[in-house]
């Protein structure tokens, strides 16, 4: 789930904040600082499925399978007119990832496995 900061007020119950892109430009650093001050953990992704782009689900799945590695965070969209593509892509992708030994985890589970079991708002 994506929590959106609108006028400085978080919506939903997530403790994570996902930007709309995977890069944080220096002139928008204040948004990340605001998220941190509200005790949100900023989470980016490593693979954008681009399930909104009009590509066929099989093409999206192949692209992801070529770039996925342990710890990858794959971005999919569950709103708008792209849900059918997303569902069909996942129907292709998930069995293949499982066959290759991958497991789907939540962000919380991934962080816990990486040794970040407790959430903190402090930055290193």
Q: Could you tell me the two tokens for 27?
A: 């002139």
Residue 68 · residue 74 · CB < 8 Å: yes
Beta strands in 29-120 (DSSP E): 41-42, 47-48, 74-75
pLDDT tens string 10-45: 456 678 888 777 777 788 888 888 888 888 888 888
Which stretches in the chain have pLDDT values below 70? 1-13, 79-82, 116-124
For residue 12, the model assigns a pLDDT of 60
Residue 108 host element (H or E): helix 107-113
Helix axes 83-99, 57-67, angle to 10 degrees: 40
Residue 6 host element (H or E): strand 5-6
For the entire predicted model, the pTM comes to 0.71
Of the candidates 40, 56, 54, the one whose C-alpha atom is nearest the C-alpha of residue 89 is 56
Residue 28 · residue 1 · CB < 8 Å: no
């Amino acid at each position: 789930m994506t929590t959106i900061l609108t006028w400085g007020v978080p919506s939903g119950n997530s403790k994570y904040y996902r930007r709309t892109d995977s890069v944080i430009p220096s002139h928008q650093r204040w948004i990340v600082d605001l998220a941190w001050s509200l005790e949100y953990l900023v989470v980016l992704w490593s693979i954008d499925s681009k399930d909104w782009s009009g590509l066929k689900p099989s093409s999206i799945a192949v692209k992801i399978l070529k770039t996925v590695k342990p710890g990858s965070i794959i971005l999919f969209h569950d709103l708008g007119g792209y849900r059918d593509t997303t569902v069909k892509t996942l129907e292709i992708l998930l069995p293949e990832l499982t066959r290759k030994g991958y497991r789907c985890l939540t962000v919380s589970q991934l962080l816990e496995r990486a040794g970040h079991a407790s959430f903190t708002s402090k930055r290193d």
